[in-house]
Structure 1
Amino acid sequence: MNSAPPTSLYDRDILLWVEDTVAKLKAKDFEHLDLENLIEEVESLGISQRKELLSRLTVILEHLLKRLYVNSPYDYNGWERTVRTQRTELRVLFRFAPSLKGQWAENFTEAWVYALKTVRQDYPDTPFPDEWPFEADLEAMLDRPFWQTPP
């Protein structure tokens, strides 16, 4: 049983739809815009950026927890590199979406829950703290080498 091919440009070729939409916006041809899909795409862009912040912060916290509490010197360098990489990616994200900084505290709380659950599952014999033992502000999380001054 064959389903009917998609009829809208959006459904047939998203890249072509984007190019067409940009051209219409530049030409101020608002009458012919596919507003329903344009609104959906703009909304999803904001959601995507918020998800990226949460995801990168969760990875940072997971690797910091492993570096601080898991006795595996062989892995320390890799965990530290991951933290540095994710910090760089967050700096880039904030460069393009500075308003995300205002959502830091809320995302930190949620990321902490996810990170702690993951490391406790991965390392059940390692005692991890119930709360983050350091400052949780943006500047500290982007710059401080927490492993140099363990709790």
Structure 2
Amino acid sequence: MSQTPNLSSLYDQDILLWSEDTVAKLKARDFDHLDIEHLIEEVEALGISQKKELISRLIVLLEHLLKRLYVNLPGDYNGWERTIRTQRSELEVLLDTAPSLSNRWELSFDKAWQIALKNVRKEYPQVSFPDAWSYDRAIEQLLNNDFWLQSTEEN
């Protein structure tokens, strides 16, 4: 029974060492000596972290898409497009690593859209941004479509 306080203090003192100890115990199937409370906490945190990363990357992607589409600063287009490519790549990796995140796409998009729109409106108060995303919001489209090319083709 004295294992739990030691495990707890190990967790508080050195989470990396705690993690390595926990993995070793799991591999050895030594379930009786696991710090279950902290293990549950860490597994929950992992899921939360993945959901937050999806929203965070979508915010950055949408901010830069909005800038590229609506802010007339051609000198900045290259930098914005570079950020768009980076975020798209990172989102692809994230969705490949955790495919179930695609089930949260719509909910995450809505949250990210509100934050991205608020941010760009604050950054560029003189620009009239739309209240709603005017383009296809499907994963495949957001990760691959250069919407600004569509925008110029339509004009």
Aligning the two structures, in what range does the TM-score lie when normalised by the shorter sequence? over 0.9
The letter of the residue matching 2:142 is: M
Q: How many residues align?
A: 145
The letter of the residue matching 2:145 is: R
Shift of 1:95: 1.1
The letter of the residue matching 1:95 is: D
Shift of 1:149: 1.1
The letter of the residue matching 1:121 is: K
For 1:90 and 1:73, the matched residues in 2 are separated by 26
Match of 2:119 in 1: 118
What is the DSSP-based 3-state SS (H/G/I as helix, E as strand, rest coil) of the residue aligned with 1:54?
A: helix
For 1:96 and 1:138, the matched residues in 2 are separated by 15
The letter of the residue matching 1:8 is: S
Shift of 1:92: 0.5
1:9-54 residue CA offsets vs partner (Å, 9 max, x unmatched): 0001000000000000000000000000000000000000000000
What is the DSSP-based 3-state SS (H/G/I as helix, E as strand, rest coil) of the residue aligned with 2:129?
A: coil
The letter of the residue matching 1:38 is: L
Shift of 1:89: 0.3
Match of 1:8 in 2: 9
Match of 1:63 in 2: 64
After TM superposition, the score normalised by the length of structure 2 is 0.92
1:68-95 residue CA offsets vs partner (Å, 9 max, x unmatched): 0001000000000101000000111011
User: Is there any run of 5+ residues in structure 1 with no aligned partner, and where?
Assistant: 1-6
What is the DSSP-based 3-state SS (H/G/I as helix, E as strand, rest coil) of the residue aligned with 2:135?
A: coil
For 2:19 and 2:46, the matched residues in 1 are separated by 13
Structure with higher helix content = 2
Q: Does residue 1:36 correspond to 2:37, yes or no?
A: yes
After TM superposition, the score normalised by the length of structure 1 is 0.94
Listed as ranges, the matches of 1:64-79 within 5 Å are 64-79=65-80
For 1:149 and 1:56, the matched residues in 2 are separated by 23
Q: Does residue 1:95 correspond to 2:96, yes or no?
A: yes
User: Is there any run of 5+ residues in structure 2 with no aligned partner, and where?
Assistant: 1-7
Q: Does residue 1:145 correspond to 2:146, yes or no?
A: yes
For 1:118 and 1:149, the matched residues in 2 are separated by 24
For 1:106 and 1:98, the matched residues in 2 are separated by 15
